[in-house]
Chain A
């Protein structure tokens, strides 16, 4: 650490950082705009000016930008020097010349960085008396709203969108005080991470368009810490609610996981919670019934015996465990299809055994050579794709270091780096959205992908099994060299291809390269559900068909996503009593005799285990006035009073899950005797909200399950990471208040980041190489190998029920490289259990004999893994 004198007092600052970073980390209220911890410094806004002195005798000093000046040992600066205070006032005055001052009608109002900085700088009187410049706004699609008149030209949006997220359809146009940030023409922002513009923009140019449809001020919302349910990465979110409606999702910083950014599915998928088709009360044989009679019915069926339960990889551990407890472990069945369980179990076994370590997303970002085997990351684990996109900068960064350019000096680094990229190899059946930064791509059938992996492993370590008929594979050798030459090599794999061989190959590579190994998993709690175990789903189906089940309880699971329609139809027909708990109507709920309205993440507390093996807790934010309850509350035995009891019982029954109790503090946790308020502090108070109905203050709902209160009353102190409902601190109303929650700006949260990691094998552990190497793929004469193709907007069941995401969902199609078919042509794809109609998209990069089909939504809902099928032109 370096000693930096700020107004003659010594402070410790990180010498590898700039003075703005140092000052903010020390808690100084130094205003800034263009700088962002994830984007570095460019010196555009000039707002963070300070005065720098040569030595203690220098009384003149000179004004410098703190973001552009290193925090070098012995640096002497002043923040309060009158000249620099006047300069900063001049800057904010300049920024505000053209700003419309439309805060009352601006969605950003009350959580606006520009408002905060204006107040911080003391700018309160307007001297500019000429016309303001105005712009025409663009329609950027259903996610992000555009209001350019508010722009202060800080360039953060384009730096984030282009330089960080790799987008190419947002840029700066024109110049001087007329710079327009937008697209060449109106249209949906193409990048899958566009929603972060909402938080990156320091004012109201880019705002959440979904929030606009049910707007509430930050100070009028209540928030709860949550975990994203739309993929398995477990990005931390804060969910905002008012009057029983979930208003939005904002990023909850977790240094190790999502950092500052979410994907658009994660940010905007939440609206399924508000979907009008939600089940809001129990339905018995299609008729609304009371909670009491529903419970009675449930108890009756349990008492009658031969009840089986089917769990769910998208339900919490608590919900799964409650069901398991209710039906007994022998009658509890996994909610995943057998082949899914097999793949997820394989991944878990590999990670538990080690020695390969599964990295956090931050560690992925810091990897300096990456080999992706089989995964279309942007479409299955989007936030990980954003991390991989950063990783390609690591190796070129070493050359930049040699030029003595500080790494935070963003434009300097980029000028020096140019288009140089570190090694990233992507081997997948079809092209991916990361191909633009890949060193090389390889598109092949899953068996050939596995063979490539095995060949890389063998090239790295001759004791790894060789691949028959692929002795000297130049690409494999190249990848092996890249991984070997890296300090932090990484292999990424997952269930995308539905192939065990691909996963085993990835494990071999990671082992041989001493690399980190990251697996993606299909759903938000796939890993948790697999760890909990249960009998195979096929056995449940068998039991049902054999007449061994009078009642089946299906937990948050549309079985038609697990198996072909005919099969599920026959199973559900065979069981006399079908009880379903879920959020939204689906083909399975249609078959329910009793349907129980299950709380979503917004109405429940619970724990998910992410693909990293990180157990993370989410907390209820909505207190529904109807009969919606967390699934575990429907299913739990009476003697479990609250979440703590469920967790305790689960730890006892399943020791492998004991650690998840530490995912967040218990319901007893207090700070100085006080709970943590879900609502931001506000002047008007709760009473004002309902004054048109009743002037007496309503009682706030109790929360027996967590240390959070449904109120603005509670501790004024910052809660531990797992319990942060929103970021706010005095003077910092915007989400950039997160600066004040970190040990050092951009670093871990104080007290440690949220979640507990379950897979930490000893690096000394050994694991034998997998040796079942598949034969090379042989295309067939009249059949295609069908591989599943996932879509960020479309393949996720729940987000597809959010209107904005549904609007963006891709048209399901079959991707193919063939001269037989033309782009857009309608074809019939015939699999073992049905014929489905799709339009064709020609993918020139794809291997012969392989076709990729959209899965997860109509018409091909259930994944028919790696099956052979026929494709014919539709009549």
Chain B
């Protein structure tokens, strides 16, 4: 069945779940973007401009303009060598399962994207930073990288163009904080993954102190298509002003949990009801986290908002990674909040006080509450902690991310929290 809209990111994928190898990728029009770049004499600036015109915004969750990020990399002869491209494949945001698909099913798309992005920022070396638990992706990426080297797509003098790029796959030792742009750089340098001070920003001082761009897997996968078909076309794929398609996912007790490539700006309702088939029979929607664990809960009244980088702000939330987690009426919102807080607390790198201390405290308060030992005043303590985790109050975005589900749960499900305290038990257990 032909889709009614373009699905550039997933159109080549085999329905049986196997991987697209180099031949299949080439047959399906792969490695044409890099050919176009190298053979038509596109300059790095021209590639960057094309991506800018596509309005490609970072798919890792923050939504930073990709072309703009690339343009921050210093260029020219005096630039410190080498320049690095790092592909962030450390997908660890709870409820998020989009990059795994891209890496397992069409690894060459990512490799070609990295080549084009690498060309645009004049990178010499690229790393794919992959979370350690993604063993199948690791196997398939490693094989694909090998194939790409064999076919002359990587290494010295790619396709006779004079452009060279080495691409290495790094498997992480674990920890959510590696997904933070600068935590990742430290991890890749073999250090503890504490995030770094900004400034300096990675495009000027990045990996091993050299100019570096870190892009999410899905972001990079968009790049070949932008080159092949133009920024204009890509931007037109979105239903709202943010360009392109986006992988949207739904998990939780819906009829058909899954992942779909849809136009940017598709509404929450469409994804939830048309794609995921709505709630399982007998269950009602209480709320959902639109884009992973570190986004604010939205509720029924917000379902018609489009999923893009700006619209969800109206509901006090964000699109995040675009993979929503659905809370039904048979699941305890306090338990869910505890689960999320416990996760963030466990993954705190231990650097700044509001995070390592406050998250640990909130974790214990929520645990006590869920186990029927909550006390009056606990909600004030939690609310106070979420204020301590405001962006800028903490060193990085981990604790602010943790604040989002807690503060929104306190707003939308306050009665449920109070019942836990009053009844000295979890009403759902």
Contact = CB atoms under 8 A, between A and B. Distances in A.
Contact flag (A, B; Cβ within 8 A): yes
Interface of A: 42-47, 49, 62-64, 68, 87, 90-91, 94-95, 97-98, 127-128, 130, 152-153, 155, 172, 174-179, 403-405, 409, 411-412, 415-418
Nearest to A62: B392
A63 B196 contact: no
B190 interface: no
B356 interface: yes
B297 interface: no
15 contacts: A46-B354, A46-B393, A46-B395, A47-B353, A91-B353, A94-B358, A97-B360, A98-B357, A153-B356, A153-B357, A175-B349, A176-B359, A177-B350, A404-B199, A412-B197
Contacts of B392: 62-64
A130 B364 contact: yes
Given A87-B388, A176-B356, A411-B197, 11 more contacts: A44-B351, A45-B353, A46-B394, A90-B354, A94-B353, A94-B361, A97-B360, A405-B199, A409-B199, A415-B200, A416-B209
A44 B353 contact: yes
B357 A177 contact: yes
B310 interface: no
Interface stretch (B133-141, B144-152, B340-348): B340-348
Contacts of A417: 209
Contact of B352 (A46, A175, A409): A46
A810 B360 CA distance: 45
Contacts of B387: 87, 90
Interface centre among B175, B381, B392 (most CB of A within 10 A): B392
A403 B352 contact: no
Interface string B132-176: 000000000000000000000000000000000000000000010
8 smallest beta-carbon distances between A and B, as pairs: A94-B357, A418-B209, A175-B350, A179-B350, A176-B348, A177-B360, A412-B197, A416-B205
B311 interface: no
Nearest to A130: B364
B343 to A, nearest CB: 11
Contacts of A97: 357, 360-361
A87 B354 CA distance: 10
A44 B390 CA distance: 15
B204 interface: yes
Contacts of A418: 208-209
A95 B208 CA distance: 32
Contact of A172 (B205, B350, B368, B388): B350
A68 B197 contact: yes
Q: Which of A44, A46, A178, A179 neighbours the largest number of chain B CB atoms within 10 Å of its CB?
A: A46
Nearest to B347: A176
A175 B353 contact: no
Contacts of A63: 390, 392-393
Contacts of B196: 411-412, 415
B197 A409 contact: yes
B388 A95 contact: no
A176 B192 CA distance: 12
B200 A405 contact: yes
B236 to A, nearest CB: 38
Given A94-B361, A172-B192, A176-B347, A42 B197 contact: yes
A500 to B, nearest CB: 44
Interface in B186-243: 192, 196-200, 204-205, 208-209
B428 interface: no
B357 A45 contact: no
Interface centre among A127, A128, A175 (most CB of B within 10 A): A175
A651 to B, nearest CB: 54
Given A128-B361, A176-B345, A412 B356 contact: no
B357 A95 contact: yes
Contacts of A47: 353
Contact of B353 (A95, A127, A416): A95
Nearest to B210: A418
A403 B192 CA distance: 25
Given A176-B356, A412-B199, A87 B393 contact: yes
Contacts of B361: 94, 97, 128, 130
A227 to B, nearest CB: 39
A153 B205 contact: no
Contacts of B345: 176-177
Contacts of B208: 418
A90 B388 contact: yes
Nearest to A33: B353
Task: Point out which of B192, B353, B384 has the most chain A C-beta atoms below 10 A from its C-beta.
Answer: B353
A857 B352 CA distance: 48
B379 to A, nearest CB: 13
A177 B348 CA distance: 8
B197 A415 contact: yes
Contacts of B381: 127
Contacts of B346: 176
A153 B352 CA distance: 8
Contacts of B175: 175
B384 A412 contact: no
Interface in B9-59: none
B199 A49 contact: no
B386 to A, nearest CB: 11
Nearest to B357: A94
B354 A94 contact: yes
Contacts of B349: 175-176
Contacts of A152: 353
A412 B205 contact: yes
A176 B364 CA distance: 14
B132 to A, nearest CB: 16
Nearest to A127: B381
A47 B394 CA distance: 11
Contacts of A153: 350, 353, 356-357
Nearest to B208: A418
A152 B357 CA distance: 9
B342 to A, nearest CB: 11
Contacts of A130: 361, 364, 368
Interface in B103-151: none
A632 B350 CA distance: 57
Nearest to B391: A62
A49 B393 contact: yes
B384 to A, nearest CB: 6
Contacts of A91: 353-354, 388
Which has the most chain A C-beta neighbours within 10 Å: B199, B346, B348, B351?
Answer: B351
B370 to A, nearest CB: 14
A32 to B, nearest CB: 12
A91 B360 CA distance: 13
Contacts of A404: 199
A381 to B, nearest CB: 32
B204 to A, nearest CB: 6
Contacts of B390: 63
A175 B359 CA distance: 13
A494 B285 CA distance: 80
A158 to B, nearest CB: 10
Contacts of A174: 350
A403 B384 CA distance: 38
A172 B349 CA distance: 11
A155 B351 contact: yes
Nearest to B351: A44
A62 B346 CA distance: 28
B192, B196, B352, B384: most-surrounded residue (chain A CB, <10 A): B352
A20 to B, nearest CB: 15
Interface in B365-408: 368, 377, 381, 384-385, 387-388, 390, 392-395
A415 B205 contact: yes
Contacts of A176: 345-350, 356, 359-360
Nearest to A418: B209
B73 to A, nearest CB: 14
Contacts of A127: 377, 381
Interface string B53-85: 000000000000000000000000000000000
